[in-house]
Structure 1
Amino acid sequence: MHTPEPAYAPSKMFLAKSSTWLSLVSISLAAVAGWFLLPSLPEPVMAVETEVETEESVTTPAPAQVHGDQPLMDEWNKDIKPMLEYYCYDCHGDGMSKGSLDLDEYPDLASMRKDPKVWEHILTRTDYHLMPPPEEEQPEAKERHQLVNWINKAIFPASTTDPGHSVMRRMNRIEYQNTIKDLLGITIPVRELLPPDDSSHGFDNNGSALSISPAHIDKYLRAAEKALDEAIVLGPMPPKVIHFKARDITGGGKRIGDGTFLYIRSSAHVTPKLRQAGSYRLVVTASASQAGPEATPLDIIVDKEQVANFEVKNELHAEKEFSVELDLPAGSTEITLDFPRDFYDPKHEDPKRRDRNLMIHRVRLEGPLGIKRQKPLAHRQIFIPHAPGQDDRAYARAVLKNFARRAFRRPPNREEIDHYLVLTEKIAQTENSISSGIKSTLQAMLVSPSFLFIAPDTAAAKSSQKPAPISEHALASRLSYFLWSTMPDEELLALADRQQLRQQLDAQITRMLQDPRSKQMVENFAGQWLELRSLAAITPNRKRFREYTPSLADAMRRETEMLADHILRGDRNLLEFLDADYSFINERLAEIYDIPGVSGDHFRRVSMAGTPRRGILGHASILTVTSQPNRTSPVLRGKFILENILDITPPPPPPELPQLEDARHKGKKMSVREQLELHRSKTACAGCHNLMDPIGFAFENYNAIGIYRESVKGEAIDTTGQLVTGEKLENAESLRQVILHGKRDEFLRCLTIKMMTYATGRGIGRLDRLHIDKVLSQLQKDDYTAHSLIRGIIHSVPFQQQRR
């Protein structure tokens, strides 16, 4: 029998009311802080691993598990070791250990496999042309290829059946916000109550970045309380309220905030439009500055007839409510708030008593009164109708079971509901209300691991590595959080209940991509892959770039999102990310792009033929997020292309290097190109800058906010360069052609890795390469269409299975 998960405290107000409740809170917070209780969570939501397994921590299979070791050693002795001796041993062998790397320490496969991090380092630096150093003799392309392939086969033997490590991750803030909205049927900004999310492997839905602490739980408690207060109405339904904003108040006076300041004899007017006649309560929040022998008067007039008179004696800004019940007809009725008697005595000894004024802070109208109103839909969906003859306990069980199925995204077991039912009855006894007990218990559910975490769904010993399919309910959650960034809808849950989701998976993928909620995938995946979220924090120098405004930044982001949406949701060819001869722009962007004939704020598809703007590499959004505030940055632009287009991660720069702005040579301020050439003259810098700089210089025709230019201060811009793989570049267009035709496979692999990382919530490494290869193989057969990529990832072993 499994121990049910702990319930979490819904609010601090209950702590003093129940010692049982206090003990539950203590146990719960301890469980969250250390996740000591995770192994005893109820089926089917149990953690396979609570620690995220990184590539560095992966234990490479022992030699007996690796197929064909002898051929690998034969290739090592015949080709690989002689290659390393020729190109590498002068620095890293024969007693030399430059950079703390001594290849003499690895005489056989067993020693190599004990140090996978070192061999990952060797592999990447060889593959990215960072080693040997530029000044040394370089291996031929086929030699590099052979070495990289051998390391992959020998040190990182991938499997077509191993799904990799399973990730238990909590929802990020966006997913939490969307889930609360869909679960409760309310729109409320609860994400703002939660701490910001960290990112890992480029995404904020990655399990290794989504930590949790008692501080998180406190925030989740507050967010759940606020959400349930919005969704649930205990007791009689209060009358409807109309709040009048400053724009709704007409007449004399001076507008201050949402109110009106009447400083001479004058009136303010509100005109509600009512659907039905009845009794209404008008509530006016007011204060006054006093002068003369009487208090400041406030008259309420309806259709020119005075219905109430108040004396506003409270001092200015000491707000007080004044209310009156009115019988109002259906339709429009003018209500006047009149300040009938002004007074001014400039000689009064107290300056505060010289001028009588009336401040109307707020106005609201409640009603119609005395009419029973139906509870909101969110409330009715939670508090389902009573069955005939059903007592409170049975009703509470039914409500909790119904809610738990949707909140936990799977059927709860009886033990879980029994556990929560105890909590419900204890609070109901204290509050003398079963509804209060249910509401507090729902809050406990909303801070439970079963709600907050998107988790593997079976208990398994870590020693067992046999893969097996995840449950249909876990698949429904993975699918919905990948494509919608929210919980499964009723159709997905119903299919999972009947064990039919896998049978109808492709049909469901099509349905989900056609649903407007799939825009979340575009916004959250493309927004992080292409770094569009960074635009919100970009602050280009206003003196140098006067064109840059918040509205332009928003237009930049929207252009790239709309193209990504058109490609991904529209099932277009993925190469259009690089080669689209069209984009989606408005007048503001058209001005920046120097494209005539586009007017208005609305976005529309526009041809980019004949412009230097084909594909995302010409988008102002990308060019701006890869610049410094006061200039372009070839390094950032080169790094962006390497990491986000080609899946190459340059090593971090050596410590204590000066910023480019501070670089001088013989007292002379140098151009960016000259500064980077100086950097490349240093051995420690040359490898990375040889990778990045030629790519970045190809984009120098675009300034720091993406405006195209041919020269700077009258001098032609030099955009030429040469990649480490030998291709010569003339400008950004030639780079685009190199990537599109010469490095197409690298781009598609990069995009696949990025999307699989986002879809699975974990980093994708070399041990996953055969899964990536399978997706890419099908992608090629399907002419590189976006839905083929999405389906391939969803059908992949890492998405569909887990280690048992």
Structure 2
Amino acid sequence: MIRGFLVLLISTVSAIADTGEDYKKEIEPLLDIYCYSCHGDGTSKGDFAMDEFESLSSHLDDMNHWLPVWRNIRSQIMPPSDEDQLEIVEKKKVLEWIERSVFRLDPEHPDPGRVTIRRLNRNEYRYAVKDLLGVEFETEDYFPPDDSGYGFDNNGDVLSISPLLMEKYISAAEEVVMRALPKGSSRQVPVKVIEGNKFQQSEDENETGRWIPFKEKSRVVAHPEIKWDGEYEVTVEYQIRGAAEATDQEAVLKVKCGGKELGEEVMGWDQREIIKLQGTVPLKKGRSAFEVEVTPEKPAGDGQEEQALVVHRVVIKGPLGGEHREYSKGYRMIFVDGEPSGNAADKERYARKIMRSFVSRAFRRPIEDPTIDRLVAIVKEVDAQAGKSFEDGIREAITTCLCSPRFLFRVEIQPEPDNPEKVVLLDEYALASRLSFFLWGSVPDDELLSLAFNKKLRANLKEQVKRMLGDPKAKRLVMDFVGQWLQTRDVTTVPLEPHRILGLRRRDDASRIFNVRLLDDMRIETEMLFEFILMNGRPVEEMISARYSFLNERLAKFYGIEGVAGEDFVPVDLTAHPERGGVLTHGSYLIVSSNPTRTSPVKRGLFVLDNLLGTPAPPPPPNTPELEEASREAGSNPTMREMMQIHRDKPDCRGCHARMDPIGLGLENFDALGRYRVTEHGKPIDAAGELLTGEKFANVAELKEILATDRRDDFYRCLSEKLLTFAIGRGVEYFDAPTIDLLVDRLKKKDGKLEELIMGIIESAPFQKRRGSD
């Protein structure tokens, strides 16, 4: 035993000595060249010295010292951009030495990192109750916005819960269950839904109920099939959009069903998400004309924006006489064997079957008998009350489940708790849950849980990932990840002043060129590009370099691209438009990275550094002067490049702007709304530049090519970090470096296929394993 200890001690001392020698021979000379002018030889800018230590061994064990060094070199924050930069080989040598010798990372056994218990965010809650109970629940109306951590709202560190929020969850659970199983839901009056885009103008089918302007008389019609003669309740759900600020404009909405008038309403400026017009009408069996008509009533005032009616859907309920009834969707999902019998023993068996099926899906793992016993007792107790029924008992039990921490929180059973030194595989139920929340934003389905029960999920992982990506629910991954990574979620809420950008005096003139429909089109364009690359095995760098896009007639016209007709998005070859293609030329990116009245090369450059290259610039120093100060020094109508040059000449601004400005100015051909232009204030726009790493470009096409080729590895690394952060619900840490290296290598070997990156993340240690918590 003593001999073994001595052997271990000698090997440890030898390893430390080797590390010290490597440091002296390989690393310290590089630090002397690139770092000591500011952080050595008696200088300690930012109160950080790199050559002051009592002993070499303690210096090499000082994580607090080397962690910022590693982070700043890795993200290219240090050395400052106006100083000599490490060569690629030198940078790799320093980073690998820190990871190997200081952090002691083992690429063969990556650290899976910590796991934070976290509640479901608003999207996950909405998707979960939809998949469990068939209920479309507007979580935005019930819960406050989720905080974000590391750029995503599923980060465990920010998803806490307060007593007030718990009260909201209890209230929400009651509402969800009542919608899924309304009173008398065993046999319900049939309901039919017509989406707003099914209402079309007879003269132009591309004009639908999704946008009916107030300014001129217009009528759209749908022709649903009515099954039976009778009295029907019809509800039109709509909203008013177009004008960001209050306007005098009004119009009259008139709805007819089967030739009978349902109702009439005067519409004005209204920012409610859903407005309802409801009434009852007699309908005949067969195809029936449902008409939505808008007639101008009062014009917009001087300078005010135009408005439009957006029909979300029309809900047809009936016949109301009760002669025709059917099971509701929620009832069919819960009462899998139909209505219960009157026998008490049969009811108990049925309640046990229902609760075991529902709760195992809601809690994401098999449920122990005592829990089932308590829930069945609730069903029986309620059923026994006067005026109550078996269905009421099931409602109460399901409501209880939806209020449980085991539904509201993503909790993983620890295979080996209380042992933070031990790394263990997740059990297969926890793996199924991680998979489903990553790819679907929701609870696992029966197939995942069945495989987990039989301990066959890991053995069938690739097939399951392929199945899940092919499911319509994978659209949620696209919307949630792209919406936050590329900020497409924000495009419809950016504070813009289009009339000033377009050089128009009146807001209403601007709204005829640029309105909220275009903003939504821009979001869809970016999401469709990501989805196409994912589903068709395209190299992910086409997010930057694609020579195609997905456009409808409205967006193509705004971009100045001919040959696209209709409301639907179609693939468009952009070979004849080299200025377009890739996310850097999408209106979604160009708008969220602009100011309300002008472009912002700083925001555009920062966006690329942070979200595409993973090399964020340091925060600006305090009291940084505004760009508008430079405009006063530049004379009459200066171009953006002229103002940025004056701003960049200030000593406090020069270093950071050398990183951001070349990228931002390279995109200056696009105005703050995303339109392409060649002049600014009558002067030709100069989009040429040189990146901090030395690559030169003459225009946006060449800039995109550089980012997708010369800087491809940076993009692969950045995307890997972003998607891993989204998948595991925590920020990427220093100990994740081996995992990120593996993901980047996989992308290189697999032709940049996005599906391979997703598979690599799912197979990675942070996704598959966990430490035992202490």
Counterpart of 1:148 in structure 2 is: 95
Give the whole-Å Cα distance in 2 for the aligned partners of 1:482 and 1:123: 29
User: Which consecutive residues of structure 1, in runs of 5 or more, have no partner in the other structure?
Assistant: 1-61, 248-270, 284-322, 335-362
Instruction: Decide whether the 8 Å contact of 1:168 with 1:453 is kept in 2.
Output: yes
Shift of 1:95: 4.0
1:569 is aligned to: 535
Displacement of 1:411 after TM fit?
0.7
Change (3 A) 1:217 1:105: farther
2:143 corresponds, among 186, 194, 208, to 194
- Show the counterpart of 2:401: 445
Q: How far 1:622 moved relative to its partner?
A: 1.6
Matched, 1:122 2:78: no
Deviation per residue, 1:133-179 (Å, 9 max, x gap): 45555555544443333223333333342212123222221121111
Aligned residue in 1 for 2:569? 603
> Closer, same or farther in 2 for the Cα pair 1:462/1:220, shift >3 Å?
same
CA distance in 2, matches of 1:606, 1:413: 55
Tell me, in whole angstroms, the C-alpha distance in 1 between the residues paired with 2:281 and 2:617. Answer: 72
Which of the numbers 143, 163, 167 marks the counterpart of 1:218?
167
Q: Secondary structure at the match of 2:424?
A: strand
Aligned to 2:560: 594
Answer whether contact 1:237 1:372 (CA < 8 A) is retained.
no
From 780, 794, 803, the equivalent of 2:748 is 780
Q: Report 1:720-799 matches (<5 A).
A: 720-799=688-767
Deviations 1:293-335 (A, max 9, x none): xxxxxxxxxxxxxxxxxxxxxxxxxxxxxx9999x9977999x
Q: What is the Cα deviation at residue 775 of structure 1?
A: 2.5
2:360 is matched with which residue: 375, 400, 405? Answer: 405
Quote the residue 1:267 is aligned against.
Answer: none
| Structure 2 residue identity aligned to 1:226 | E
Distance in structure 2 (CA, Å) of the matches to 1:723 and 1:272: 58
Q: Are 1:454 and 2:410 matched, yes or no?
A: yes
TM (norm. structure 2) is 0.76
CA distance in 2 between partners of 1:667 and 1:682 (Å): 14
1:21-36 matches, within 5 Å, as none
Q: Show the counterpart of 1:268.
A: none
User: AA paired with 2:445?
Assistant: D
Are residues 660 and 407 of structure 1, via their aligned partners in 2, closer, same or farther at CA, if it must alter by over 3 Å? same
The correspondence of residues 6-155 of structure 1 with structure 2, limited to 5 A, is 68-106=15-53, 111-112=58-59, 116-133=63-80, 136=83, 139-155=86-102
Equivalent in the alignment of 2:523: 557
Q: Which moved more, 1:423-432 or 1:504-513?
A: 423-432
Distance 1:583 1:420, change over 3 A: same
- CA-to-aligned-CA distance 1:748-775 (integer Å, 9 cap, x gap): 1211221111111221223112112223
Question: How far apart are the structure 1 equivalents of 2:63 and 2:157?
Answer: 20
Alignment of 1:591-670 (within 5 A): 591-611=557-577, 612-663=579-630, 668=635
CA contact (8 A) 2:522 2:587 kept: yes
1:346 corresponds to which residue? none
Distance across 2 between alignment mates of 1:577 and 1:325: 51
2:551 is aligned to: 585
Counterpart of 2:515, as a letter, is: T
- Aligned residue type for 1:154: S
Distance 2:489 2:619 in 1: 23
Equivalent residue in structure 2 for 1:171, among 110, 120, 140: 120
Moved more, 389-398 or 633-642: 389-398
Farther-moved stretch of structure 1 (700-709 vs 227-236): 227-236
Runs of 4+ in structure 1 deviating by more than 6 angstroms, as ranges, are 62-67, 241-245, 271-274, 280-283, 323-326, 328-334, 363-366
User: Which residue in 1 is equivalent to 2:439?
Assistant: 483
The reply on whether 1:415 has 2:381 as its aligned counterpart is no
Task: Give the 3 Å change call, closer, same or farther, for CA 76–783 of structure 1 in structure 2.
Answer: same
1:396 Cα deviation after fit: 3.5
Residue 437 of structure 2 aligns to a residue in which SS?
A: helix
AA at the equivalent of 1:72:
T
CA drift at 1:487: 1.7
Distance across 2 between alignment mates of 1:426 and 1:772: 54
Rounded Cα–Cα distance in structure 2 between residues aligned with 1:575 and 1:135: 29
1:562–1:584: 8 Å Cα contact kept in structure 2? Answer: yes
Aligned letter for 2:754? A
Instruction: For residues 206-241 of structure 1, give each alpha carbon's deviation from its aligned partner in whole angstroms, at most 9, with x where no partner exists.
Output: 212222211221221122111100111445867638
- Residue number in structure 2 paired with 1:702: 670
Q: Distance in 2 between matches of 1:88 and 1:332?
A: 78
Deviation at 1:782, TM superposition (A): 2.1
1:368 CA drift (Å): 5.4
Q: 1:431-463: per-residue Cα shift (whole Å, max 9, x none)?
A: 655543432221121121211222322264454
Deviates more, 1:82-91 or 1:563-572: 82-91
Are 1:687 and 2:655 an aligned pair? yes
Distance 1:179 1:113, change over 3 A: farther
CA distance in 2, matches of 1:770, 1:473: 26
Deviations 1:480-532 (A, max 9, x none): 12112222222112211221111211111111111111111111112221111
- For 1:325 and 1:618, locate their aligned partners in 2 and report how far apart those are by CA, in whole Å: 50
Residues 329/65 of structure 1: CA separation in 2 closer, same or farther (3 Å cut): farther
User: What's the CA shift for 1:648?
Assistant: 1.2
Q: How does 1:462-481 map to 2 (within 5 A)?
A: 462-481=418-437
Q: Tell me which residue corresponds to 2:104.
A: 157
When the two chains are superposed, the root-mean-square deviation of aligned CA atoms in Å is 3.7
Change (3 A) 1:580 1:405: same
Q: Does 1:713 align with 2:668?
A: no
Q: Quick one: distance in 1 between partners of 2:45 and 2:74?
A: 19
CA distance in 2, matches of 1:616, 1:748: 15
- Check conservation: 1:239, 1:366, Cα contact below 8 A: no
Aligned-residue offset at 1:113: 6.8
CA distance in 1 between partners of 2:233 and 2:440 (Å)? 44
In the TM superposition, residue 104 of structure 1 has moved relative to its aligned partner by 4.0
Q: Which residue of 2 aligns with 1:27?
A: none
Residue 606 of structure 1 aligns to a residue in which SS? strand
Distance in 1 (alpha carbons) for counterparts of 2:232 and 2:581? 62
2:448 corresponding residue in structure 1? 492
Give 2:177's match in structure 1, choosing from 211, 228, 250.
228
- Does structure 2 conserve the Cα–Cα contact (< 8 Å) formed by 1:190 and 1:227? no
Q: Distance in 1 between matches of 2:476 and 2:316?
A: 37
How far apart, CA to CA, are the structure 1 residues paired with 2:390 and 2:622?
63
CA drift at 1:402 = 2.1
SS of the residue 1:600 aligns to? coil
Structure 1: how far apart are the matches of 2:595 and 2:441?
32
Q: Deviations over 1:605-655 (max 9, x none)?
A: 111113111322222222222111211111111111111111112111112
Comparing 168-177 with 154-163, greater Cα deviation is found at: 154-163
Structure 1's 686 and 153: CA in aligned 2 closer, same or farther, altered over 3 A?
A: farther
